[in-house]
Structure 1
Amino acid sequence: MNAITTGPALLDAVHVGPMDNVAYLVTCRRTGRRALVDAAAEPATLLDLVGGDLDLVVTTHRHHDHVGALAAVVEATGARTAAGDADADHLPLPVQQRLHHGDVLHVGDVPLEVVHLRGHTPGSVALVLCDPQGPDHVLTGDSLFPGGVGNTRGDAAAFAQLLDDVTARLFDVLDDDTVVHPGHGAPTTIGAERPALPEWRARGW
């Protein structure tokens, strides 16, 4: 996609790797500070997207397809690393900032609110980027997609936990026009997915 202007930030993305992972770049418009969300694959592509200094790489969750370029990007840029507390020890390099629900990351003037969504992995996080002039944006990793929540591999308890968290921490607090940017594939909105919540719970995945 082309860069989206959202309040004090620019939000850009690139699709990388064989699983159509989406890596997102958040840039503060005033300071030029940058954070990359999910250094999934193709480090050269990601470094081209960054196009300059990089302050932070946030990993939404521990799965291998979301960390394939993490070490290379950090080595090339010296960026700090952040990930959900329960997933941090499973990443391929040390994590400087362990994230918890309600934390706020600052990329220059841009606040990113951390939302802990348990179920796909124990430490999965989403990031909410608020825009005072337009729709908000939420980067959901593999916890929420068009058409359903992330894969819980047939674990009924994990599915219930993920759907409960997604409902209470995203659908119950975000406006319908909030744009959902998943870790794979195309974006959607909270409003487009909201009517299907009962169907998702009934089908169990």
Structure 2
Amino acid sequence: MTYTGDVTVGGTPDVRVLPALTITKVAVDAEMSNNAYLLRCTDTGEQVLIDAAAEAEVLLDLIGDAGLTTVITTHQHWDHHRALGAVVDATGASVAAGDPDADAITEQTDVPVAMRLSHGDRVPVGSCTLEVLAIAGHTPGSIALLYVDPEDGGHPHLFTGDSLFPGGVGATFGDEAAFAQLVDEVDTKIFGTLPDSTWVYPGHGGDTVLGTERPHVPEWRARGW
């Protein structure tokens, strides 16, 4: 079946099979409807989870017997790491997060962050690699994660947390300076470096591609959210 990225809480996960990586998207928690993404290296079978958001039993069922190497937390907000402790306890996975958010994540979850990530760092998924894009504004340490499949014509796949959604950047809760920072960083580090074909996997809701969103960046700046 063709991957769409349209998932619902309690529904079936959506699976995209790339030549070197399999991406499984699931929605958890009826109130917040967070997305979590399980990445599996075709070569080695190693797995990485992006955002242990909630419903540990759902995530652990997804992980299965293959184990988990790393949980990457895209930012410090509570709805993106409620299942972090339970998933780490069950799998022994290490935790990675943007350096400016790492202490807050540990304070909120009692889980140590082993990999404090900065812009340009790389996180392995078996023989595959995720590149870290530091996108501050939604939180100081928000990160996006870029995967380019070398066997798929270099097509980019970008996991944006709450920094970029269909229709706009993430919330900055009335903080004008934070909004300006966020939209600038999204514009320069994402739209300024990646092609229209880049597939975007956000922290909530459906997916998009950069080409759909790019023409609207000036509108986002003008409206201020």
Interval of TM-score (by shorter of Structure 1 and Structure 2): over 0.9
- Structure 2 partner of 1:30: 43
The alpha-carbon deviation at position 8 of structure 1 amounts to 1.2
Task: Give the alignment partner of residue 87 of structure 2, picking from 35, 59, 73.
Answer: 73
- Output the TM-score relative to the length of structure 1: 0.98
Report if the CA contact (8 A) 1:180-1:188 is conserved.
yes
Cα root mean square deviation, aligned: 0.9
SS at match of 2:138: coil
Task: Give the alignment partner of residue 63 of structure 1, picking from 71, 74, 77.
Answer: 77
Report if the CA contact (8 A) 1:7-1:130 is conserved.
no
The alpha-carbon deviation at position 129 of structure 1 amounts to 0.8
The alpha-carbon deviation at position 50 of structure 1 amounts to 1.0
Report if the CA contact (8 A) 1:8-1:30 is conserved.
yes
> What aligned pairs does 1:66-105 form with structure 2 within 5 A after superposition?
66-91=80-105, 92=109, 93-105=111-123
Give the distance between the partners of 1:31 and 1:5, measured in 2 at CA: 15
- Structure 2 partner of 1:5: 17
Gaps (5+ residues) in structure 2? 1-12
SS at match of 1:86: helix
- Structure 1 partner of 2:221: 201
Task: Give the alignment partner of residue 14 of structure 1, picking from 7, 26, 41.
Answer: 26
Identity in percent: 55
The alpha-carbon deviation at position 12 of structure 1 amounts to 0.7
Task: Count matched residues.
Answer: 205
Report if the CA contact (8 A) 1:62-1:87 is conserved.
yes
Give the distance between the partners of 1:7 and 1:162, measured in 2 at CA: 33
Gaps (5+ residues) in structure 1? none
SS at match of 1:24: strand
- Output the TM-score relative to the length of structure 2: 0.89
The code of the aligned residue for 2:21 comes to A
- Structure 2 partner of 1:152: 172
SS at match of 1:111: strand
Q: Do residues 125 (structure 1) and 143 (structure 2) align?
A: yes
SS at match of 2:196: coil
Q: Do residues 46 (structure 1) and 59 (structure 2) align?
A: yes
The alpha-carbon deviation at position 35 of structure 1 amounts to 0.3
Task: Give the alignment partner of residue 190 of structure 2, picking from 170, 173, 184.
Answer: 170
